């Protein structure tokens, strides 16, 4: 399943003529999957996948990230409740909390008499978020290449204090997202989602003065209809509502909470 060829995947993504095929279409096929089969994933496979994550680029080899796998059902239940009650946090064969992690490097620095005060700067928060996202996405690509499916859980940011309590997180660590991993069920219906036209995302030489989004609104409306989802609001309307200041689902505390944990203090 989920084995579209390059041309088909491209057309689902962009409804445009595909370029010649320079790489495996797996890199175009990503979709979030929330329902997994019972097929187990052995720990040795997870070990390899974490090895892929660790093989991602990392600024100055600082490796400002960590990952916690959570398999205990009670702990999964508590995490799911904290993360918008998403069923896949409970049911995924493997669940990971990815962490931006300054703690380990602070330990290393202090062991050699350095104060590590630079970690207080926003620069190092930004760096840790980049590091952890690069690591996670390399793991995701490796997982998808072997037929696994995934779902990122951004709702791990809904209640950062509760997540920190549940996972014993020290100062200088923060969970920006979780990751569910499993084999998809046989009749999984998740489809490749259309994305913005390339000329609205990829610019040449300089940022443009205008960007056309009407074409994407039309394409997404057709997609919602094809998926039997509500199609009476456009992508611009959905997305605009998502970023008004009434839908932050707890995340409005992020700035003050992160500063209290030592991130982005200056």
Subset of residues 103 to 162 that bind a second copy, contact rule: CB under 8 A: 103-124, 126-127, 129-130, 133-134, 136-138, 140-143, 145-146, 150, 152, 154, 157
Least separation, in Å, of the C-beta of 212 and a second copy? 10
Least separation, in Å, of the C-beta of 233 and a second copy? 9
Which H or E element spans position 260?
helix 254-260
Alpha helices in 55-147 (DSSP H): 73-82, 87-91, 103-111, 122-145
Q: Does 51 contact a second copy by CB under 8 A?
A: yes
Residues 194, 219 contacting (CB under 8 angstroms)? yes
- Judged by CB under 8 A, which of 8, 15, 45, 91 binds a second copy? 45
Distance separating alpha carbons of residues 127 and 264, to the nearest angstrom: 11
Least separation, in Å, of the C-beta of 262 and a second copy? 12
Structure tokens at 152: 């990122």
Interface with a second copy: number of residues (CB under 8 A): 127
Burial per residue of 101-131, b for 16 or more beta-carbon CB atoms within 10 angstroms, e otherwise: bbbbbbeebeeeeeeeeebbeeebbebbbbb
Q: Per CB under 8 A, which of residues 83..102 are in contact with a second copy?
A: 99
Question: For the CA atoms of the chain, what is the radius of gyration?
Answer: 20
Least separation, in Å, of the C-beta of 45 and a second copy? 5
Which of 76, 65, 95 lies closest to 182 in space, CA to CA?
Answer: 95
Q: Does 8 contact a second copy by CB under 8 A?
A: no
Q: Does 163 contact a second copy by CB under 8 A?
A: no
Q: Does 15 contact a second copy by CB under 8 A?
A: no
Contacts of residue 217, Cβ cutoff 8 Å, sequence gap at least 6: 234, 235, 236
Q: Which stretch binds a second copy (CB under 8 A): 85-93, 181-189, 191-199, 224-232?
A: 191-199
Q: Does 37 contact a second copy by CB under 8 A?
A: no
Interhelix angle 235-242/214-226, nearest 10 degrees: 100
Tokens 């690591």 found at: 135
Q: Which stretch binds a second copy (CB under 8 A): 24-32, 81-89, 181-189, 224-232?
A: 24-32
Least separation, in Å, of the C-beta of 5 and a second copy? 13
Q: Per CB under 8 A, which of residues 204..263 are in contact with a second copy?
A: 204-207, 211, 213, 234-237, 239-248, 251-252, 254-255, 258
- Judged by CB under 8 A, which of 47, 73, 186, 230 binds a second copy? 47
């Amino acid at each position: 399943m989920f084995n579209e060829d390059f041309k088909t995947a491209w057309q689902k993504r962009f409804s445009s003529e595909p370029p010649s095929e320079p790489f495996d279409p797996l890199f175009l096929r990503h979709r979030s999957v929330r329902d997994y089969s019972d097929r187990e994933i052995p720990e040795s496979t997870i070990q390899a996948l974490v090895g892929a994550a660790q093989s991602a680029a990392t600024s100055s080899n600082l490796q400002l990230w960590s990952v916690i796998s959570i398999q205990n059902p009670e702990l999964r239940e508590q995490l799911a409740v904290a993360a918008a009650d998403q069923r896949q946090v409970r049911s995924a064969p493997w669940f990971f909390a990815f962490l931006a992690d300054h703690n380990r490097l602070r330990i290393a620095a202090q062991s050699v008499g350095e104060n590590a005060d630079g970690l207080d700067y926003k620069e190092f928060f930004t760096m840790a978020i980049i590091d952890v996202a690069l690591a996670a996405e390399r793991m995701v690509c490796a997982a998808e290449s072997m037929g696994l499916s995934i779902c990122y859980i951004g709702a791990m940011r809904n209640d950062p204090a509760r997540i920190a309590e549940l996972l014993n997180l020290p100062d200088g660590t923060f969970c920006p997202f979780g990751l569910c991993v499993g084999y998809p069920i046989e009749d999984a219906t998740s489809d490749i989602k259309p994305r913005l036209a390339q000329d609205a995302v990829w610019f040449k030489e300089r940022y443009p003065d205008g960007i056309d989004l009407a074409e994407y609104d039309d394409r997404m409306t057709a997609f919602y209809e094809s998926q039997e989802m509500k199609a009476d609001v456009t992508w611009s309307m959905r997305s605009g509502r998502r970023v008004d200041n009434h839908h932050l689902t707890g995340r409005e505390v992020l700035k003050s909470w992160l500063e209290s944990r030592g991130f982005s203090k200056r």
